[in-house]
Structure 1
């Protein structure tokens, strides 16, 4: 019988790779990094046979010519390798991925699939830090969190529940871990692609539309625009969300609309859809918070949590 043995939620930031020496709050950064390493050790101890890796897209693997709400990689998977993250082919558990895709469709989710998927740091950051040294294949699941209209938070929770059912019904006796990569609160200087204002927003929208074959040509200016942004971290929201995870009530996030979540915690908080899917796949087992650090240099509230179903519900 297939078993879900662990869930992990973790923030990501490529600035860990590119601007570590410019990080002012080095003590916070080191504590966050140590929390990632601790989560990596928990994953190693759980001995998963495969990892369902739920992450976001930052317009390096998907572009505005086609943006599905949910996409599962069922064949080749290549990481774009931006900002010092892993680059090149990633090992996919193809039979499990295809079984999950079929099961989710049967369960009423018109999920897209890709036999040649390109991912970016929305998932490869987790490969770099959480799966470092672990010889384990992934099943990549990409969630649209930046190109409105976005899937509702309720739909994401439902997908997590359906994913749980699909995993538990999978043939064999595999041990599966689920990772949600993204968040917490942060605001990126990214436009609503439907109504860009000013030179920078028009440039970004054009990059998102035209970047499929040459995204690297846009990357330097993209980074400049992001680095010029001011941090907008809501520590109260972050701590409240982490408390919900601790008490197995992360489903409360579905009470937010997309607009309300952006107002409360920034457009980057839309990535919490990945945590919500992971938590629902773990049946909202109570989480252990391994770390939380607000890092304005990285524009983001950085958190790490582990959900161990062996702990049971309190």
Structure 2
């Protein structure tokens, strides 16, 4: 029998790798890093065979020539390796990933895209680096479009998580499965709406997103300069509201936000909470336990970690 044994939501930021020594809020950064390690230990204790990683794309695995709303990796999976994150082939649970893709499509729930040769970036590999460190597991990567408008509605992402749960539990093999959401919380990236770039930097970014399929590394140095020059726009009140709802098992109520409303309140980077909504639904919205929340302006992001343990519901 296949079961879902744990869920984890965690912010990601490659500045952890590239600019740790330059981080001013070191105590906050260390507390966040310690929370990642605690979540990693809880994953190890849950002993999953497979980890479904729901993450975002940062225009190193997908480009504007083709942007699906949801993509499932069903074969080879290669990590880009940008900014000190893991690089190269990643182990995929092919039978489960193909069952998942088939179930979503044939069940009429989602016409999700699939890739037999998926390239992922730190939207998934940051979680592999910190949450799966030393764990002998395979993955099922799911990429959610959160940066190239039009974006899938928040409610649609929660529905995806519910469909993933149904498909995983219906798998006839014997699997212990964990689900990780990678991304968020509130932050604003100096990234344009690709449909209407304003100024030289935004036009450069859109060109990188359109032309970078075969040479994305050529654009990376200037991309990093643009990001490092940005000012932080973190909304701790929004982040606390979101994490509190997650703790109550009520994160779906956040689907009341439209894409535009969410960006206005919490920044374009907060669109990544779609991954958390999907993960929470895959755990049947069991109440979460918050491990950490830190405001780290140098990383531009409200950094949070939470764990969802289905055993807490059965013990209640």
Supply the distance in 2 between the matched residues of 1:99 and 1:168 (Cα, whole angstroms).
Answer: 11
Written as runs of structure 1 = structure 2, the 5 A alignment for 1:260-275 is: 260-275=261-276
The alignment partner of 1:156 has SS state of helix
Counterpart in the other structure of 2:23:
23
Counterpart in the other structure of 2:260:
259
Q: Does structure 2 conserve the Cα–Cα contact (< 8 Å) formed by 1:6 and 1:178?
A: yes
1:81 aligns with 2:81: yes
Counterpart in the other structure of 1:310:
311
Post-superposition offset of 1:106: 2.1
Post-superposition offset of 1:42: 0.2
Supply the distance in 2 between the matched residues of 1:135 and 1:260 (Cα, whole angstroms).
Answer: 40
Counterpart in the other structure of 2:124:
123
1:195 aligns with 2:196: yes
The alignment partner of 2:278 has SS state of helix
Gaps of 5+ in 1: none
* TM-score when normalising by structure 1: 0.99
Q: Does structure 2 conserve the Cα–Cα contact (< 8 Å) formed by 1:107 and 1:162?
A: no
Written as runs of structure 1 = structure 2, the 5 A alignment for 1:1-314 is: 1-108=1-108, 109-312=110-313
* TM-score when normalising by structure 2: 0.99
Could you list the per-position Cα deviations for residues 66-124 of structure 1 after superposition, in whole angstroms to 9, with x for gaps in the alignment? 00000000000000000000000000000100000000112320100000000000000
Post-superposition offset of 1:193: 0.2
Post-superposition offset of 1:253: 1.2
Post-superposition offset of 1:207: 0.2
The alignment partner of 2:4 has SS state of strand
The alignment partner of 1:312 has SS state of helix
Query: Which deviates more, 295-304 or 167-176?
Result: 167-176
Gaps of 5+ in 2: none
Post-superposition offset of 1:172: 2.2
Supply the distance in 2 between the matched residues of 1:227 and 1:56 (Cα, whole angstroms).
Answer: 20
Supply the distance in 1 between the matched residues of 2:175 and 2:88 (Cα, whole angstroms).
Answer: 26
The alignment partner of 1:22 has SS state of coil
Post-superposition offset of 1:173: 2.4
Supply the distance in 1 between the matched residues of 2:158 and 2:101 (Cα, whole angstroms).
Answer: 17
Could you list the per-position Cα deviations for residues 286-311 of structure 1 after superposition, in whole angstroms to 9, with x for gaps in the alignment? 00000000100000000000000010
Supply the distance in 1 between the matched residues of 2:283 and 2:167 (Cα, whole angstroms).
Answer: 12
The alignment partner of 1:162 has SS state of helix
Supply the distance in 2 between the matched residues of 1:18 and 1:194 (Cα, whole angstroms).
Answer: 31
Could you list the per-position Cα deviations for residues 119-141 of structure 1 after superposition, in whole angstroms to 9, with x for gaps in the alignment? 00000000000000001000000
Give the ranges of 4+ consecutive aligned residues of structure 1 lying more than 2 Å apart after TM superposition.
none
Supply the distance in 1 between the matched residues of 2:81 and 2:310 (Cα, whole angstroms).
Answer: 33
The alignment partner of 1:233 has SS state of coil
The alignment partner of 1:277 has SS state of helix
Post-superposition offset of 1:200: 0.2
CA-based RMSD of the aligned residues comes to: 0.7
